[in-house]
Structures are given as structure tokens and as C-alpha cells.
A and B are shown apart, each in its own frame.
Chain A
Amino acid sequence: MDKVMSHKGIIALYVLPSLLLILAIIYFPILLTGYYGLMKWDGVSSMSFIGLENYAALMKDGAFWNSVYHSFLFALLSTLSLAVYMLVALVLAGNIKGAGLLRKIYLIPMLLSSVAIAQLWLKIYHPTNGILNSFLVSIGVEDPPAWLSDPKLVLAALFIPILWQYAGFYILIYYAALKNIPASLVEAARIDGANPWQIALGIKLPLISEVVKVTIVLAVVGSLKYFDLIYVMTDGGPNGSSEVMASYMYHKAFRGFDFGYGSAIGFFLLIICMVATWGIRKATASKDTIQYS
């Protein structure tokens, strides 16, 4: 068995093509980005080496740390919302009627491109004739807030569409994972008299713990480099109050012609993601992977 499963040629055949692909298409560019981060470069004229100056400037850049804070806030909220998604997936996977249809419906927002989603939510949040404020006015709120132009509300207003957009994604993953649990295990517990809650918490969740860890990392990393909706809906505004790391990088590199600085932000963002992932892995580490049998 060991001999068959450690055949070097086959391992190389299975792993090398993908590895070479990501080295060329992902690592080569990002390392170049790290290198550009050491340069003074506007993206047009020739570069000059300035060492860690960009990174030093980054450490002192209040606007950047503001965007870091916003990104982490999104990451935290996204992680918390996983519990809601899990709950829905548990219910859907629990043989209720119509689960198949509901599951499909939940994924619909994900099929839409960010452009469409952003447009929809812009219409919902429109300060005078948006659905939300029309509703608030109709129930007697006199001066409903202008959601996207109020620096205090804009982050919350942006988070809701993100929560909504990704619901289907995580529910689908959890659903597929839950459905993969052998029915015999659940049946056995049920015969032993466990109630649905006990089955969910005591049997199902531990069995899919790897998947849960994966989704936590996905949610955190996804939030940390999140860009799309924010870019279309507020463009980081007003006055930077919804700026996140990726949008800040974009603004610096592509709008501000400061590719050196933008690259430094991009590289730093990568490092932050790595540290965060490492932290999550450490925090959720379990000695052995749970196996059926």
C-alpha cells in the first residue's frame, strides 16, 4: 500500500502541472509586485530603487490603516455570518421538503455579476426613492438616513449586500458537505434517541470540521481582499470612509500613478492574509483529522 501511494512519478505527474501553472501565473507576478514595492515607480517612467521607503510610508499612512481596519471588520462580520449560513444548510440538509428548490434559489445572487448586484443595491439604498427609505418613510420615519453617504453608516450598508451575495456560496458548500455524511451515522444516533440539535452539534459539525475551517479561511481571506461591490457602490467614499485594502491599493496604483506604493500595498495585503490564515489554522488546529469508520 505505502509503496503504491508514494510513487514519485505519479505524484509528480499529478502535482507538477498545477504547481508550474500557479508559479508562473500567480507567484511570478506577485513576487514582481513585491519587487515593484521597493521601487519608486509611476508605471510609466523608469523605476528607481528606494528600498523599504514605500513600506515605511505605508506604516505611517493613516488612510491605509483605516482601510485595514475596515477590511478586518468585514472579515470578522463575514466569519460570524458563517454560523447563519450553517444553520440554513443544516435545515436544508435535514430532509425538509423543498430543500432542493430553496437551495437553488439561495444561490441566485451569486450567479449575478457584481455590476448587477451593485446596481440593485444602489437602487435599494437610494436616499430619496430607494426601496429602503421609501419603506421607512411609509412607516413614519421622518428623515431616513442617506445610507451610502453617511460615513457612520456606509460600512454597515455595504456589508449587507456582501452577506447576501455570498449566502448561496457557503450554503452550497455546507450543504454538499452535510449531504456527504454517511446516512448510517446519523441514523445510528437517531436510533440512540438524539434530538436534531444534538445530531447537528455532536455528529454533523465535527464530521465536517475540515470544511468549516476551509470556509472560515475563505471568508476571512475573501473579505480581506474584497473589492468589487465597494468599488462600484461607493468607490471607497465618502472621503475614504468605506475604503478597504484592495480598493486603496487600486486607487494608489491605477488612479494615483503610484505603482511602487500600490505594489507595496498589494504585497502587504498578501502578508496580512497569510498571517491571518496562519492564525486561523493555529486557532482551529485539532490533533487529528476526524475520519468516518
Chain B
Amino acid sequence: MKRKTFSASMLLLALTLVLVACGGGSKSNTDGTNSTASGDEGSKASSGEKVTIKMMHLWPDGSNSAQNKLVKQIIGEYEQANPNVKIDTEVLENEQYKNKIKVLSASNSLPDVGFTWAAGFLEPYVKGNMFAPLDDLLQGDLKDKFVSGTTEAYAVDGKTYALPVELNIVPVYYNKEIFAKYNLKTPQTYEEFKNIIKTLNDNKVTPIALGSKDAWTGSFWYMYLADRIGGPDVQDQAVASNTFSDPNLIQAAKEAQELVKSNAFVKGFNGLSNDEAKSEFMNEKAAMYAMGTWEVPNYTTNPDIPQEFKDKIGFFKFPAYDGGKGNINDWVGGVGVGLFVSENSKVKEDAKKFVSFFVKRWGELSVTDAGIIPGTKVDTSSVKLPQMFIDVLNELNNANKVILYLDVQMKPVASEEHHNLIQALLGNAVTPEEFAKKQEDVLKAGK
């Protein structure tokens, strides 16, 4: 190969670049223009036309078989009731699902129905006119069906763009046997909590399983500290106002680092995935584990896990901080994925009808069949549930406030940075002040 090779190719590259740049304007004007036409046509299926609705979800039958079956069942029921409608599903695992949704939206070819995450994830799609507002469903068919405060997480400028199918809070699970062995009681105050950690460490038991390679799990701990110190609104306000300078937020960061210093977390937590950390708890090497209530089936109904282990597990509320403004009934948590309808769908009205049906049926079945707490209200008196589920549902009913996960609240870039900063904070790579400063900077950048 000769030297000329590269300069020549670069020239060609540059030329083609000019070509592409000059001819590439077609993409931008497709957005949002062709959406109005399909909207008011109304349902095609009811006029007897054959309709196919494309749906994407993230529950493969191998790993989320309960959800997968439930989706199939609901689709089956719907197709039976509406013989003109056929629903095609595409299933991708979580991470791949997120990627594909982005590729599809960039090429303006989202499925008719799919799942989205709340707030920060959803916002760009709404701004880009990709999701259809679903307020007519909320006013009509689904009026008063949802737990209050859940659909708001999918609202932008007063319109709601997705309907939740998951609602979780984050309790601290603990191993009753380990606690009993060292005469520990579930903590009411943060001081008691610190004493528990000390006692466990003195006895060479790992106090808390944490896998903050998946940084969102580390964020739980920070969020609880911030809430208990600064009160239920301090974090929401911080994100809303793009500031992170409230001294309570810095104090929470300090406490988080104190926790690390007191060896509260499993060794090497910043390099462990959530799955790896979880196994420390499941294996009874670690005494506590803070995680969403999607874990509850592992402590109740999951047939693969021995009953004797399940019996040992309980949960408690993150304790109150002395002099703090938080309420012990504040929970970190919130909605998970929710159903959207594509704004550019050719079968938008049919898709909406299906979504409405899906959400209702899901609400009736998901706790009992899949161990998932839906966004819709669950009548605990009419369903038979393991005790821990009932306890969780009661806590939800008595909650003072559910503070939506910080990384979900924030816009995508800020959320990414929040993950990095949580790792840095827990890894002692930044001071609490730097943590707050950097978080504020990226919030201010508005991305």
C-alpha cells in the first residue's frame, strides 16, 4: 500500500460527505407532518377492515416467562373479542429493546404499541411528536383506574403519553435469621441503622449487598438519605429547578460516603452487577439489600427458591434521620415501563383501544399471575396474595410520597452523568461538594 492511498481516499471521503450533506435534508421534514391524517380516521377494525397492530415488548419467555405468558393471554383474549384485529409482537431483552426503540424512532418507524420508561426517557419522544396523547382514554374508559400520581410520570405539558403497567417501591429487605443471631431489630432511626452495620461488621457479616456497576442501585441509597435529611420534595425540586446546591443534598452525599467508610456495602460493590450483588443476599452472605418490589416474587412465589430462605426474608422502611425533614413513609420508587401508542401509527385508534383493554386486564391479572404490581388500583380484598405482597400494597396505600427514581426524573444526559457521579461518590473519587456541583452543571446543560 502506498502513501498516496490515504490522501486519495480522504479526498473521496470529503467529496461524498459534501454530496450527502447537500442531499440529506429529507429526514427532518418528515417529522410530525403526516400524523394528523391518521388520527381522525377512527377505528378501522370496527368498520370491518382487517387490522394488524404491531407491538414491541421486553419480556422474553426465557427470563420473564410470567409476563410473557400474560401478554400472550391478553392478546389472545383481545383477538378473540375483536376478530378483525391481529396483534404481532416483537420481543427484545431490556437493553436491546432500548437500543432498537431508538433506532426505530430515528427512522420514524416505531411499532404501533410499545413500552416506554417515564419522565426523562419519554420526554424526547414527546417533543419529537412520536407518542400519541392518551388523555381521552384516561378521561373515558380508564377513568379513576390508576393509582393517583402514577400517570403523571408520563405526562408532559399536561398531556399523558403512556400508561403504566408497573409500580414499585424500594424497601430494604433483610435476613431475619442473621438479624436474630446478632440480636438486631429493624431500625427506626439512622443511628440504629449504623449500629446494625457496625455489629454485622464486627461479626464479619457483610451488612449490605450492593452492585453499583449498575449505578441505579447505588442511587437508591443516596435518594433515601437525601429524602430523610432534606424532606420529600428536595430531590424533585432539585431536578425541576436544575440546581443541586441544597445543603441537604450535600449532607446526604456526605452520609453516603460515611456509609461506604463504615464498610456497609459488600466488597468491590462498584465493580459488581446487581445480579452479582443480589446473589450475596440470596446466599445469606449479606444481611440487607435495597431493591424494587419486583424482587418480592423471589421471597414469596418463585418455585426455584427454597421456602426456608423465603421465610427468612422481611423488609423494613429506610429509617428516619435524626433532625431530618423526611417522613419514614416516603418511598423511593415509582412507575416502571408504560404502554405508548405511536403518533404516526396508521391504526392509532385501534391501537388505543387495545392499550385500554390491555391495561385493564393487566391490572386484574398481573399481581396474581406475574407478581407485578400494576399501575392500576389493586383490590387486595378480592385477590389471594402472599403476605409480603399484601404488606407492600399496604405500604403503597399508606405512602406519604413515592419519590420517582432520580435517574428516571432526569433527562437522558443528566441521568447518565448521575450514574457516573453515584459511582464516583461511593468510590470516594469525588467530594460531596464536587458531586453536587457536577450534578448541577449537567442539569443546567439541560440535556
User: Do A and B have CB atoms closer than 8 angstroms in the complex?
Assistant: yes
> Could you say which of B27, B129, B268 has the most chain A C-beta atoms within 10 Å of its C-beta?
B268
- A44-B128 contact in complex given A31-B20, A149-B271, A239-B421, C-beta closer than 8 Å: yes
* Residue A227 interfacial (CB < 8 Å): no
* Residue A127 interfacial (CB < 8 Å): yes
> Could you say which of A238, A254, A281 has the most chain B C-beta atoms within 10 Å of its C-beta?
A238
Contact B124 A257 (CB under 8 A): yes
Residues in B with CB closer than 8 Å to A252 are 413, 416
Residues in B with CB closer than 8 Å to A161 are none
Considering the complex, give the chain B residue whose CB is closest to the CB of A28. Answer: B20
A48 to B31, CA, bound (A): 13
* Residue A282 interfacial (CB < 8 Å): yes
The number of chain B residues touching the other chain, given as a range, is 35 or more
Chain A, residues 15-35, CB within 8 Å of chain B (1/0): the string is 000000000000110011011
B17 to chain A, nearest CB (A): 5
A148 to B127, CA, bound (A): 39
* Residue A251 interfacial (CB < 8 Å): yes
Chain B, residues 88-101, CB within 8 Å of chain A (1/0): the string is 00000000001100
Majority SS of interface residues in chain A?
loop
A148 to B32, CA, bound (A): 45
Residues in A with CB closer than 8 Å to B268 are 126-128, 146-149
Majority SS of interface residues in chain B?
helix
Contact A43 B106 (CB under 8 A): yes
Given A38, A274, A281, which contacts B3 in the complex, CB threshold below 8 Å? Answer: A281
* Residue A42 interfacial (CB < 8 Å): yes
Contact B213 A237 (CB under 8 A): yes
Contact A46 B102 (CB under 8 A): no
Considering the complex, give the chain A residue whose CB is closest to the CB of B267. Answer: A127
Contact B416 A127 (CB under 8 A): no
Residues in A with CB closer than 8 Å to B420 are 237, 239-240
* Residue B381 interfacial (CB < 8 Å): no
A291 to B31, CA, bound (A): 59
> Could you say which of B29, B99, B420 has the most chain A C-beta atoms within 10 Å of its C-beta?
B420
Contact A35 B24 (CB under 8 A): yes
- A149-B269 contact in complex given A44-B125, A257-B412, C-beta closer than 8 Å: yes
B365 to chain A, nearest CB (A): 32
* Residue B28 interfacial (CB < 8 Å): yes
Residues in B with CB closer than 8 Å to A282 are 3
Residues in B with CB closer than 8 Å to A234 are 213, 271
Chain B, residues 302-319, CB within 8 Å of chain A (1/0): the string is 000000000000000000
* Residue B105 interfacial (CB < 8 Å): yes
Contact B31 A46 (CB under 8 A): yes
Contact A35 B20 (CB under 8 A): yes
Residues in A with CB closer than 8 Å to B99 are 254
Which B residues between 106 and 142 are near A, CB-CB below 8 angstroms? 106, 124-125, 127-130
B415 to chain A, nearest CB (A): 8
- A149-B16 contact in complex given A122-B276, A258-B413, C-beta closer than 8 Å: no
A122 to B16, CA, bound (A): 44
Contact B416 A47 (CB under 8 A): no
A-B contact pairs, 18 of them (CB 8 A): A27-B13, A32-B24, A42-B412, A43-B102, A44-B127, A125-B271, A148-B268, A149-B268, A154-B271, A235-B213, A237-B423, A239-B420, A239-B421, A239-B423, A239-B430, A258-B412, A281-B1, A281-B5
| Shortest Cβ-Cβ A-B pairs, 8 listed | A146-B268, A127-B268, A149-B271, A148-B271, A45-B128, A44-B128, A149-B270, A239-B424
A interface, CB within 8 angstroms of B: 27-28, 31-32, 34-35, 38, 42-48, 122, 125-128, 146-151, 154, 234-235, 237-240, 251-252, 254-259, 274, 277-278, 281-282, 285
